[in-house]
Amino acid sequence: MVFGGALTGLGGSALSLAILHRFDNKMPAGMGFMALAAMVFGKWTPLGAFGAAVFFALGNAAVDVVRSAMPPTGPLADLHLEGILLAAPYVLTLALLAGFVGRATPPAADGIPFDPEAKH
């Protein structure tokens, strides 16, 4: 738990300080959805979720590369592709979940509150 919290703090600080250079309330907008999708796509295993998260991160980075390579003026800028490119990682996530995951079964105790005094 401590290690997971430390990684979460490191990720949040990297997002606000190194990537965006500012703090915003809507900084991680939609990233929780992508994290849940990585768990489902990874078949609820740590290594599978890590692989899915790396795949989604590469897709997000590819969109950033395309956005930075677009000229500020000209025929491509007139098409207003900015919104489509911003939505591309989420569309990729939905396409993978709809097409390749199949029926992923979550852990049996998912959603059940832990009661340490309950008899198991």
Summarize pLDDT for 10-46 with one digit per residue, the tens. 887 877 777 666 777 766 677 778 888 888 888 888 8
User: Roughly what angle, to the nearest 10 degrees, separates helices 31-41 and 46-69?
Assistant: 130
Matching residue, tokens 């809507």: 26
CA pair distance 63, 82, nearest whole angstrom: 10
Q: Would you tell me how many other CB atoms lie within 10 Å of the CB of residue 63?
A: 17
* Alpha helices by DSSP H, the chain: 2-13, 31-41, 46-69, 75-78, 82-99
Amino acid at 5: G
Q: Which amino acid is at 12?
A: G
pLDDT digits (tens, 9 = 90+) for 48-98: 889 988 988 888 888 878 877 777 766 666 666 777 777 887 888 888 778
Whole-model pTM: value is 0.65
